[in-house]
Amino acid sequence: MKVTIYRYDPDTDETPYLQDYDFELPVGRQDLMVLDVLELLKEQDPTLTYRRSCREGVCGSDGMNINGANTLACITRVSDVLRGGELRSGHRFRRSASITIRPLPGMPVIRDLVVDMDQFMAQYKAIRPWLINDEPPPAQERAQSPDERARLDGLYECILCGCCTSACPSWWWNPERYVGPAGLLWSYRFLADSRDIGTSERLSELDDPFSVFRCRAVLNCVAYCPKGLNPRNAISRIEGLLVKEA
């Protein structure tokens, strides 16, 4: 099997390039994850650089573009990539005899498959991802009813891997001003939280032509979320709150 990987070392390379590797699946391990393939290739070529940590689709470290789809290498089976299998979002790979791995698009490349996520994290921090509540705390906890807690389902599961935001054309055009799908998903997670009392404050910080309303509903964020979340739905709800507030 041929594996093609984007390579770029700013210390030695003038321009990025694609490098081909011949990879043979180990005997008895016919359905590896793409991250396993990278691990085995790194044994052959120690200069190959990528991020990884938990290997369980929880930390979001190994987000990358695999055969044109943004996803996590640790939960993406080689068989699905080659045979046209589905991502968790329902998006399907195109059948192929080879695998091509590139860094997440729309973000500066540090080296090989590692991208600079500073701007992405700056937008996440800007939405203040914590509860705003200066009321005196109760003796035990700020309780929620089951219905109130259920409103957070499909929001809190975001792992900040960047797969959705790096697939968003509006983010490519305005990364400093458009918050992006992941940041807005997290913003609505706190807007929807019954324990948060900073709704007006949060909305006022998003009330401009770029932060939210630059979304064009391309839905790449939905297609490439490895957790199967729907950032566009959260964005729509924020737009509705901003219109109502106005």
pLDDT recorded at residue 24: 87
- DSSP letter for 64, please: E
Alpha helices in 52-117 (DSSP H): 78-83
Distance between CA 115 and CA 118 in Å, rounded? 9
| Domain limits, the chain | 2-114, 117-245
Q: What is the pLDDT along the chain (246 residues), one digit of tens a residue?
A: 999 999 999 999 999 999 999 998 777 666 899 999 999 999 999 999 999 999 999 999 999 999 999 999 999 999 999 999 988 777 889 999 999 999 999 999 999 999 999 999 999 999 999 999 999 989 889 999 999 999 999 999 999 999 999 999 999 999 999 999 999 999 999 999 999 999 999 999 999 999 999 999 999 999 999 999 999 999 999 999 999 988
For tokens 């990358």, the residue is 64
The phi-psi region of residue 29 (left if phi > 0; otherwise alpha if psi is between -120 and 50; otherwise beta) is beta
Percent of the chain at pLDDT exceeding 70: 99
The domain 2-114 is placed in CATH, from the list 3.60.20.10, 3.10.20.30, 3.30.310.50, 2.60.40.1150, at 3.10.20.30
The domain 117-245 is placed in CATH, from the list 3.40.50.10490, 1.10.1060.10, 3.90.105.10, 2.60.40.10, at 1.10.1060.10
SS3 state at 101:
strand
pLDDT recorded at residue 28: 67
